[in-house]
């Protein structure tokens, strides 16, 4: 298990755990990041990542990406 920011670009990953406070977890779940769901990094710009989750592209800060374990 590793934080999303260490995943390879273009590689499909399964979300295993979401860390952080209850508020952060709820925010990420509302964006589509749920345990068991798949996520793929499209690109990385200065630590921030653009991911594909549930057929949508979402920009996630480095701080948030560190809370998503794949």
pTM above 0.75, yes or no: yes
Mean pLDDT on 4-19: 95
Q: Cβ-count burial of 21 within 10 angstroms (0-12 exposed, 13-18 middle, 19+ buried)?
A: exposed
Range of the domain at 16: 4-69
CA dihedral 32, 6, 40, 14 (to 10 degrees): -70
Q: Give the count of domains, the chain.
A: 1
Residue 56 structure tokens? 């949508």
pLDDT value of position 47: 83
Residue 9 confidence (pLDDT) above 90: yes
What CATH number is associated with residue 49?
A: 2.30.30.90
Instruction: Write out pLDDT tens, residues 12-54.
Output: 999 999 999 999 999 999 999 999 999 999 999 988 999 999 8
Distances (CA, A) of 66 to 5, 25: 6, 12
């Amino acid at each position: 298990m590793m934080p999303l920011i260490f995943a390879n670009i273009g590689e499909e990953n399964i979300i295993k755990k979401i860390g952080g406070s209850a508020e952060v977890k709820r925010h990420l779940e509302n964006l589509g990041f749920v345990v068991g769901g798949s996520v793929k990094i499209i690109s990385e710009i200065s630590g921030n990542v653009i991911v594909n989750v549930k057929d949508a592209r979402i920009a996630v800060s480095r701080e948030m990406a560190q809370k998503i374990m794949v």
